[in-house]
């Protein structure tokens, strides 16, 4: 993205590779912003890995490091090794989930031996990592013919070749997992886990235009949002409404009527009972549409977050010190 002309020849010069999907692009952008405020400059290239070799071999100033998304780590690693440029992977999910990626082949093998996990509630993980409920693992993880599993097995070998693995988490939050991963007992020669989270926001200088929220007492409002791709069923929505009304709690509820990335045109009144909206109008606000979640979480009136626990949401809440009432929904 940045032009390479007129750059300070002595500053670190880092190329960053993400893949498509907002959940990848966003943490990559945040990391980029964080580095940019610390005197680094960038070239961001998100596809055409095969074109990179000639492109990167003669950048000026020469590259100090590569940072690549996990899903293209192996191809990027080959190029970087060839060019003798230090390479890092950025993991956009938890260290705990990363531990599954790191021992993927072993887990797939064990699962096949165990008859596909029939009758098993927990899977054992190596080196004293706490066992993981089988129900917490997306089923395609164990299916070697699935795209998801193929991406993992193609890229997991890079974890021992790169110089470090950046994870959007922090030590206190996942200390046991990080310690075991860094002990070398999970995967021999695993690159060091470097915790860089919770990543800072890059949406600086935007104001949140929500006068209702500005008028609420400090830490009094429950923020309710289930990420960018979850839609609750009509029954769940109406039960949530009943619970909110009974609790008497102030709330800011971001409503999503249909699944991911589809514009849904239903009006709030078509999803929630109009009488509910009328009865709760002094206590709560319902918004249908995209909001700036990071800014809402940073607002002094917010006292809690009812979340589906997408990793970005968890880290954003942690960054602002907002307690989460967890309602995990997927993955």
Which spans of this chain sit near ligand UDP (rule: CB under 6 A)?
21-24, 26, 225, 227-230, 254, 290-294, 310-313, 316
Shortest distance, position 26 Cβ to ligand UDP, whole Å: 3
CB-wise, 276 or 311, nearer to ligand UDP?
311
Least CB distance to ligand UDP at residue 287 (A): 8
Residue 261 annotated among the catalytic residues of the structure: no
Clarify whether 330 is annotated catalytic: no
Nearer of residues 26 and 63 to ligand UDP, judged by Cβ: 26
Cα distance between residue 303 and residue 222, in whole Å: 6
Catalytic annotation, pick one of 13, 69, 104, 308? 69
CB closer to ligand UDP, 160 vs 331: 331
Q: Which is nearer to ligand UDP, 74 or 313 (CB)?
A: 313
Q: Which among 124, 94, 122 is positioned nearest to 107, based on CA atoms?
A: 124
To ligand UDP, the closest distance from the beta carbon of 157 in angstroms equals: 23
Whether residue 189 has a cis bond before it, omega within 30° of 0:
no
Identify the active-site residue in 8, 13, 24, 189: 24
Which of residues 10 and 263 has its CB atom nearest to ligand UDP in the complex? Answer: 263
The enclosing H or E element of 78 equals helix 73-82
Q: Which is nearer to ligand UDP, 147 or 290 (CB)?
A: 290
CA–CA distance, 16 with 88 (Å, rounded to integer) = 9
Of 114, 34, 123, 43, nearest in space to 85 by CA: 43
**Bridge partners, residue 67, by sequence:** 16, 88
Angle at 201 between CA 176 and CA 77, to 5 degrees: 60
With contact defined as beta carbons under 8 Å apart, do 302 and 321 qualify? no
In 10 A of CB 84, how many CB atoms? 8
Span between the terminal Cα atoms of the chain, in Å: 32
- In angstroms, give the least distance from the CB of 111 to ligand UDP: 25
* 251, 277 Cβ separation under 8 angstroms: no
Q: In the complex, what is the shortest distance from the CB of residue 305 to ligand UDP, in angstroms, rounded to a whole number?
A: 10
Residue 17 CB, nearest approach to ligand UDP (Å): 15
Entry field: residues in the chain? 331
Tokens of 23: 């959940």
d(CA 331, CA 137): 7
Of 242, 274, 272, nearest in space to 255 by CA? 272
Catalytic residues: 24, 69
């Amino acid at each position: 993205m940045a032009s390479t002309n007129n750059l300070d020849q002595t500053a670190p010069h880092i190329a960053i590779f993400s893949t498509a999907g907002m959940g990848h692009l966003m943490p990559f952008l945040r990391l980029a912003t964080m580095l940019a405020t610390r005197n680094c400059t960038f070239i961001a290239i998100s596809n055409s890995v095969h074109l990179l070799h000639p492109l990167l071999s003669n950048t000026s100033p020469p590259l100090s490091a590569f940072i690549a998304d996990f899903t293209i780590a192996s191809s990027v690693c080959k190029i970087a090794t060839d060019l003798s440029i230090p390479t890092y992977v950025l993991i956009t999910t938890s260290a705990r989930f990363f531990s599954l990626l790191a021992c993927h082949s072993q887990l797939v093998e064990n699962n096949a031996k165990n008859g596909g996990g029939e009758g098993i509630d927990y899977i054992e993980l190596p080196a004293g990592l706490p066992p993981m409920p089988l129900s917490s693992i997306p089923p395609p993880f164990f299916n070697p013919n699935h795209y998801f599993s193929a991406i993992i097995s193609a890229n997991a070998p890079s974890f021992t070749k790169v110089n470090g693995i950046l994870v959007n988490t922090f030590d206190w939050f996942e200390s046991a997992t990080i310690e075991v991963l860094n002990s070398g007992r999970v995967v021999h020669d695993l690159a060091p886990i470097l915790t860089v989270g919770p990543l800072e926001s890059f949406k600086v200088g935007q104001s949140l235009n929500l006068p209702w929220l500005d008028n609420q007492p400090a830490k009094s409002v429950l923020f309710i949002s289930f990420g960018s791709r979850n839609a609750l069923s009509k029954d769940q929505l109406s039960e949530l409404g009943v619970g909110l009304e009974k609790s008497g709690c102030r709330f800011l509820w971001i409503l999503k009527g249909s699944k991911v990335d589809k514009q849904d045109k239903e009006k709030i009144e078509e999803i929630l009972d109009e009488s509910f909206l009328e009865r709760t109008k002094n206590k709560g606000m319902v918004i249908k549409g995209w909001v700036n979640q990071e800014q809402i979480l940073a607002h002094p009136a917010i006292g809690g977050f009812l979340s589906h626990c997408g990793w970005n949401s968890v880290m954003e809440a942690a960054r602002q010190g907002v307690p989460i009432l967890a309602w995990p929904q997927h993955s």
